[in-house]
Amino acid sequence: MQATTDQELIRRFVVQRDERAFRELYAAHTPPVYGLLRRLAGTAAHDADDALQDAWLRAASNLHTFRHESSFRTWLTGIALNCLRECRRRSARSGDSCAAVPAEPHVSAAARSLDVDEVLGALSDAHREVLVLHDVEGYTHEEIAGALGIEVGTSKSRLSRARQEFRDRWRAAPAPRGAEA
């Protein structure tokens, strides 16, 4: 049902330049895409903000090219991931380390969730992307392949390696903060 709703909103925006339709798309898809970007950006919260803004600008200007071969969210997620990668490349070229930027304070009450974020942050970008998309966001391997521009088999193998790397790093991590010794 959501795809039909998105399809109609896209049509209204592209054909009629209906601002309300765009706002509905934005409201429906921004929270999950931003959440994904925040998890992937780790301590560089500003990178997630920039990537989301760039993704929506690109999506709005290219919405007429959306072919409905995937869901709108998958398409937008692919754009957002590309924007995040570009942001990382710009940071690497300029010598600014994304990790050097202080993160927003975590509001989670569970100390171990901070450790999960740290272990996720230690994974390679490729492994973190597939792990978060599949295990956290619930994307299928087909959707991941479409969003990342990779083969389904590549998605599956990266997920397997990412899970193993996560387990290895988790086991090697010190006890959770605030845990009794």
Query: Does 50 have pLDDT greater than 60?
Result: yes
The pairs formed by 1-7 with CB atoms below 8 angstroms and a separation of 24 or more are: 2/28, 2/71, 3/68, 3/71, 3/72, 6/71, 6/72, 6/73, 7/68, 7/72
Mean pLDDT of the chain: 81
Of 82, 6, 12, 10, which is closest to residue 50 (Cα–Cα)?
Answer: 82
How far apart CA 168 and CA 178 sit, in angstroms, is: 22
pLDDT in tens, 55-82: 999 999 999 999 888 899 999 999 999 9
- The distance in angstroms from the start CA to the end CA of the chain is 51
| CATH number given to 1-103 | 1.10.1740.10
In contact, 166 and 119? CB cutoff 8 Å: yes
pLDDT at 42: 75
- Helix or strand holding residue 41 (H, E): helix 19-41
pLDDT at 34: 93
How far apart CA 135 and CA 92 sit, in angstroms, is: 28
How far apart CA 88 and CA 96 sit, in angstroms, is: 9
| CATH number given to 106-181 | 1.10.10.10
- DSSP symbols for 18-35: -HHHHHHHHHHHHHHHHH
Q: What is the domain partition of the chain in residue ranges?
A: 1-103, 106-181
In contact, 180 and 111? CB cutoff 8 Å: no
pLDDT in tens, 98-128: 443 333 333 333 444 556 778 888 889 899 9
Give me the mean pLDDT over the 6-19 stretch: 92
CA atoms within 13 A on the CB side of 91: 19
